[in-house]
């Protein structure tokens, strides 16, 4: 918890100062070329940008503690930044969870099989594929998917989260889940179709990284003495795989999944932009363009908190899987 | 019929970009039910590889196995892994050298024992767990019920090896192979583990292959001893015969290099000079020739055959005629 508070404070200082050092502030973004000298001065004063930066910072901090992160000036002018964030956050969460699930579901079994059949065609294909997955710019991949599968072939929607002609009931803000909960199956199916391509695009890097870690980790574990012991016991293949190989091989994978959540946000900025996905990634992209300080601050701080939280959960689950860590923690 | 018959077993490793290397070269030996047989030799002579070949645990790629291994009359070498899995853990058990790395670090000890029982004796979870506690008790682990839920890192080295023995003996196998089971342990613990092993197999019909580089380990345990050098058996004898009158210069050297309680005070231990890297190929002569104090000229050109000798077997052109003790006395 202390860790979390520290991260938030340091990060808020950095982001706050950095934004104000960027050329062209919200005033130019809002007024463009049309602004006269007076109107610029007026707006600057109104936004409180004339005060010394530390005064601005402490004013920001004071309000932020009460949940007030200021008002959006660019993404959705006039709307409280916090409200905007809360509105958009479920969209990004839904997309990220879908992407991580996709990555896990494919990367772990494939990584395992590639290691077991080292040097076989699946292994070679997987290694090359994951190299492409890591190196292909996510923006380009998202665009390719959209161009071929949505625009050319028309199989899937080109953007958004739900077709406009569908009147869905909202409960959680996760559109697919909402459709399932309310048994509005057409809405769930429609939301799923919207989700598929952005999720695939966003999954590409985590998939590639998790595949490689799984493969390398399984290869290591296969050489371990305890796997030989398991085989000397004549155990079934399934038990050797699940209990003796995978349970050990998953340890580094768990850490990687935590670290990958950080990469997800930067991926989401690009993916959401290409697929007009109304999440915080898109808000971040627009916010930068229009120098929307309030929105940028709340999104970046919240994203950092989410990242720290996820890695906290990873540490905890690590202790659940690895008894050696558990007893080390008990001692300390 | 012998319980285990190893006939002309050869193991060759093929590695990319390297000459094939022969790790085991036509070795043969038998193990009778209930018998304890020693396999002795220094590091790299092919002991572990032999035991892994018997268990079918050699890597499927890169290792070529020739000859025959029959267990209760059934040929093991041709069996698929699936068929072997019916035998391993049930009829054949194995204890490995390093108990820490040989136990799964993330699975409780109890489950690592009970999973064998569930697999081969078709016990349910509960019965298997109760039986596992019983087994831990038998191998001398105090408070077994509590230990069941502990992980390998929470046990001492000696206890880990006891747990591995419990695993290997869980289904009362007809043959137990112990590959240097005490090498990784403290000296004081070594003796305990050895006496535990002999206690567990003596009086049962479980046969034991005891693999070691230490003739001292063999002394209290084995009925028959095979001495290996450079992938071949160079001497086989009943334990008493081997210690009373070792015939092969290598065996002689091994005996002279172990500390003995009955040795005269001040006696120096004489290690065998040189090391395995000095070996010449068996095809050219005697592999031990570069290190052998009894070498003759023919040893460098004429590979000795394994022949019957005083009730055992011997592969040497110039066997030792006197016992080491007698030799000591004469000096
Ligand atoms: N997987 C392998 N690939 C290639 N060569 C191997 C492999 N395993 C063993 N060898 C070789 O086979 C020979 C015999 O090795 P082995 O492990 O049986 O020796 P050992 O008698 O058990 O010795 P130690 O006392 O060190 O355990 C060695 O020369 C070793 O280098
Ligand atoms: S054959 Fe010759 S070199 Fe080899 S052990 Fe016997 S005496 Fe020594
Ligand atoms: Mg060995």
| One-character DSSP codes across A144-206 | HHIIIIIIIS--S-SSSSS-TT--PPPSSS-HHHHHHHTT-HHHHHHHHHHHHHHHHHHHHHH
Backbone angles phi, psi at A99, to 5 degrees: -65, -45
- Quote the DSSP letter at residue B69: E
| CB within 8 Å of chain B, chain A residues 207-266 | 224-226, 228-236, 239, 243-244, 247-248, 251
The C-alpha of B303 sits at a distance from chain A's nearest C-alpha, in angstroms, of 36
The span from the CA of A28 to the CA of A42, in Å, is 12
Is the C-beta atom of B6 inside 6 A of ligand 1? no
Taking the model in full, what pTM does it have?
0.86
pLDDT at B267: 57
B119 CB neighbours in chain A (<8 A) are 233-236, 239
DSSP string across B243-295: HHS--SHHHHHHHHTS--TTSPTTPPP-PPSS-GGGPPPTTTS-TTGGG-TT-
B114–chain A Cβ distance below 8 A for any pair: no
Indicate the Cα dihedral angle B209, B210, B211, B216, nearest 10°: -150
A324/B55 touch (CB, cutoff 8 Å), yes or no: no
A324 CB neighbours in chain B (<8 A) are 105-106, 151, 153
The span from the CA of A305 to the CA of B90, in Å, is 53
Closest CA to B120 of B155, B157, B80, B92: B92
Q: Residue-wise over B275-296: b if at least 16 C-beta within 10 A, else e?
A: eeeebbebeebbbbbbbbebbe
Q: Which residues lie closer than 8 Å to A26 by C-beta, 6 or more apart?
A: A47, A49, A73, A74, A290, A291, A292, A293
A226 CB neighbours in chain B (<8 A) are 101-105
Beta bridge partners of B39: B211, B226
The span from the CA of B281 to the CA of B288, in Å, is 9
The C-alpha of A171 sits at a distance from chain B's nearest C-alpha, in angstroms, of 41
pLDDT at B330: 41
Q: What token pair was written down for B274?
A: 């040189």
Phi-psi region of B202 (alpha: psi -120 to 50; beta: other; left: phi over 0): beta
Query: Are the C-beta atoms of residues A100 and A206 closer than 8 Å to each other?
Result: yes
The span from the CA of A220 to the CA of A29, in Å, is 54
- Secondary structure class of B161 (helix, strand, coil): helix
pLDDT at B71: 95
The span from the CA of A236 to the CA of A230, in Å, is 9
The C-alpha of A218 sits at a distance from chain B's nearest C-alpha, in angstroms, of 14
pLDDT by residue, tens only, chain B of 331 residues? 799 999 999 999 998 888 889 999 999 999 999 999 999 998 899 999 999 999 999 988 889 999 999 999 999 998 999 999 999 999 999 999 999 999 999 999 999 999 999 999 999 999 999 999 999 998 989 999 999 999 999 999 999 999 999 999 999 999 999 999 988 888 888 888 888 888 888 878 899 999 999 888 888 889 999 999 999 999 999 999 999 889 999 999 888 877 666 656 655 666 777 777 778 899 889 999 999 999 999 999 999 999 998 889 999 999 988 655 544 444 3
Query: Quick one: which ligand is closest to B284's CA?
Result: 2
Closest CA to B56 of B23, B85, B25: B85
Query: Are the C-beta atoms of residues B287 and B229 closer than 8 Å to each other?
Result: yes
pLDDT at B266: 58
The C-alpha of A322 sits at a distance from chain B's nearest C-alpha, in angstroms, of 6
Query: Are the C-beta atoms of residues A298 and A69 closer than 8 Å to each other?
Result: yes
Highest average pLDDT, of A155-159, A174-178, A229-233, comes from: A229-233
B229–chain A Cβ distance below 8 A for any pair: no
| CB within 8 Å of chain A, chain B residues 270-329 | none
A228/B102 touch (CB, cutoff 8 Å), yes or no: yes
Residue A262 has pLDDT above 70, yes or no: yes
Chain A nearest-CA residue for B97: A225
Backbone angles phi, psi at B93, to 5 degrees: -120, 155
> What's the start-to-end Cα distance of chain A, in Å?
18
Q: What token pair was written down for A169?
A: 């009931």
The span from the CA of B28 to the CA of B228, in Å, is 11
Query: Are the C-beta atoms of residues A95 and A277 closer than 8 Å to each other?
Result: yes
Ligand 3 centroid–CA B183 distance in Å is 10
Query: Are the C-beta atoms of residues A294 and A82 closer than 8 Å to each other?
Result: no
- Identify the H or E element spanning B252: helix B249-256
Q: What strands, in cross-sheet order, belong to the sheet with B63-71?
A: B21-31, B4-13, B63-71, B74-75
Q: Which residues lie closer than 8 Å to B82 by C-beta, 6 or more apart?
A: none
Q: Residue-wise over B246-271: b if at least 16 C-beta within 10 A, else e?
A: bbbbbbbbbbbeeeeeeeeeeeeeee
Closest CA to B30 of B211, B198, B236, B217: B236
Instruction: Say which residue the tokens 């009460």 belong to.
Output: A66
Query: Are the C-beta atoms of residues B284 and B300 closer than 8 Å to each other?
Result: yes
Ligand 3 centroid–CA B228 distance in Å is 12
A230 CB neighbours in chain B (<8 A) are 104
Q: Kindly report, residue by residue over A197-219, the tens digit of the pLDDT.
A: 999 999 999 999 999 999 999 99
The span from the CA of B235 to the CA of B249, in Å, is 10
Q: Which residues lie closer than 8 Å to B268 by C-beta, 6 or more apart?
A: none
pLDDT at B72: 94
Closest CA to B67 of B83, B78, B51: B78
The span from the CA of B265 to the CA of A240, in Å, is 54
Candidate from B318, B319, B321 with most ligand 2 atoms within 8 A of CB, to mutate: B318
A125–chain B Cβ distance below 8 A for any pair: no
Candidate from B45, B57, B60 with most ligand 1 atoms within 8 A of CB, to mutate: B45
The Cβ of residue A135 has, within 10 Å, a number of other Cβ atoms equal to 9
The span from the CA of A228 to the CA of B177, in Å, is 14
Give the sign of the dihedral formed by CA A263, CA A268, CA A271, CA A274.
negative
Ligand 1 centroid–CA B48 distance in Å is 7
Query: Are the C-beta atoms of residues B93 and B179 closer than 8 Å to each other?
Result: no
- On average, the pLDDT of chain A sits at 87
The span from the CA of B238 to the CA of B226, in Å, is 9
Instruction: Locate the DSSP E strands across chain A.
Output: none
Point out the residue among A234, A251, A323 whose CB comes nearest to the CB of B86: A234
């Amino acid at each position: 918890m202390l860790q979390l508070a520290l991260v938030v404070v340091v990060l808020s200082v950095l982001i706050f100062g950095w934004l104000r050092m960027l050329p062209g502030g919200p005033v130019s973004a809002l007024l463009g070329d049309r602004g006269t000298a007076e109107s610029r001065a007026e707006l600057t004063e109104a936004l409180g940008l004339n005060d010394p930066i530390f005064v601005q910072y402490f004013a920001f901090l004071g309000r932020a503690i009460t949940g007030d992160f200021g008002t959006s000036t660019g993404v959705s002018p006039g709307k409280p930044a916090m409200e905007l964030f809360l509105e958009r956050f479920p969209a990004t969460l839904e997309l990220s969870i879908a992407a991580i699930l996709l990555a896990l579901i494919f990367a772990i079994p494939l990584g395992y099989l590639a290691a077991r059949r080292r040097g076989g065609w699946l292994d070679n294909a997987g290694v090359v594929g994951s190299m492409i997955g890591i190196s292909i710019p996510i923006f380009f991949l998202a665009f390719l998917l959209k161009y071929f599968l949505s625009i050319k072939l028309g199989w899937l929607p080109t953007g958004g989260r739900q077709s406009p002609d569908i009147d869905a009931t909202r409960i959680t803000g996760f559109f697919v889940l909402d459709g399932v909960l309310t048994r509005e199956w057409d809405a769930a199916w429609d939301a799923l179709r919207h989700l598929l391509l952005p999720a695939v695009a966003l999954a590409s890097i985590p998939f590639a990284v998790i595949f490689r870690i799984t493969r390398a980790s399984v290869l290591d574990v296969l050489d371990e003495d305890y796997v030989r012991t398991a085989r000397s016991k004549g155990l079934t293949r399934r038990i050797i795989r699940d209990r003796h190989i995978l349970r050990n091989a998953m340890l580094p994978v768990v850490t990687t999944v935590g670290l990958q959540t950080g990469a997800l946000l930067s991926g989401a900025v690009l993916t959401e932009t290409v697929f007009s996905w109304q999440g915080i990634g898109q808000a971040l992209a627009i916010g930068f363009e229009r120098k929307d300080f309030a929105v940028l601050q709340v999104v970046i701080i919240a994203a950092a908190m989410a990242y720290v939280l996820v890695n906290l959960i990873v540490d905890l689950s690590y202790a659940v899987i690895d008894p050696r860590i558990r007893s080390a923690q008990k001692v300390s | 019929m012998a319980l285990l018959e190893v006939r002309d077993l050869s193991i060759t490793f093929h590695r990319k970009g390297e000459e094939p290397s022969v790790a085991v070269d036509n070795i043969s030996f038998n193990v009778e039910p209930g018998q304890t047989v020693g396999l002795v030799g220094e590091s790299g002579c092919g002991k572990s590889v032999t035991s892994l070949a018997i268990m079918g645990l050699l890597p499927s790629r890169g290792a070529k196995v020739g000859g025959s291994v029959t267990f209760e009359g059934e040929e093991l070498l041709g069996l698929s892994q699936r068929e072997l899995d019916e035998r391993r853990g049930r009829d054949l058990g194995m204890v490995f050298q390093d108990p820490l790395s040989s136990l799964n670090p993330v699975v409780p000890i109890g489950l690592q024992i009970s999973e064998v029982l569930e697999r081969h004796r078709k016990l349910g979870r509960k019965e298997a767990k109760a039986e596992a506690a019983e087994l831990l008790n038998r191998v001398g682990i105090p408070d077994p019920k509590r230990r069941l839920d502990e992980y390998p890192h929470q046990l001492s080295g000696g206890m880990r090896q006891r747990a591995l023995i419990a695993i290997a003996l869980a289904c009362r196998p007809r043959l137990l192979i112990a590959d240097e089971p005490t090498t990784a342990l403290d000296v004081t613990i070594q003796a305990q583990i050895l006496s535990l092993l002999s206690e567990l197999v003596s009086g049962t019909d479980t046969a034991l292959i005891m693999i070691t580089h230490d003739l001292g380990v063999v002394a209290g345990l084995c009925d028959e001893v095979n001495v290996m050098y450079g992938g071949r058996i160079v001497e086989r004898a009943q334990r008493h015969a081997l210690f009373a009158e070792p015939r092969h210069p290598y065996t002689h050297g091994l005996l002279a290099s172990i500390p003995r309680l009955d040795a005269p005070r001040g006696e120096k231990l004489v290690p065998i000079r040189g090391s395995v890297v000095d070996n010449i190929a068996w095809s050219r002569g005697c592999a031990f020739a570069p290190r052998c104090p009894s070498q003759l000229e023919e040893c460098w050109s004429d590979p000795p055959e394994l022949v019957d000798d005083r009730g055992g077997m011997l592969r040497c052109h110039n066997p030792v005629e006197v016992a080491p003790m007698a030799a000591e006395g004469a000096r």
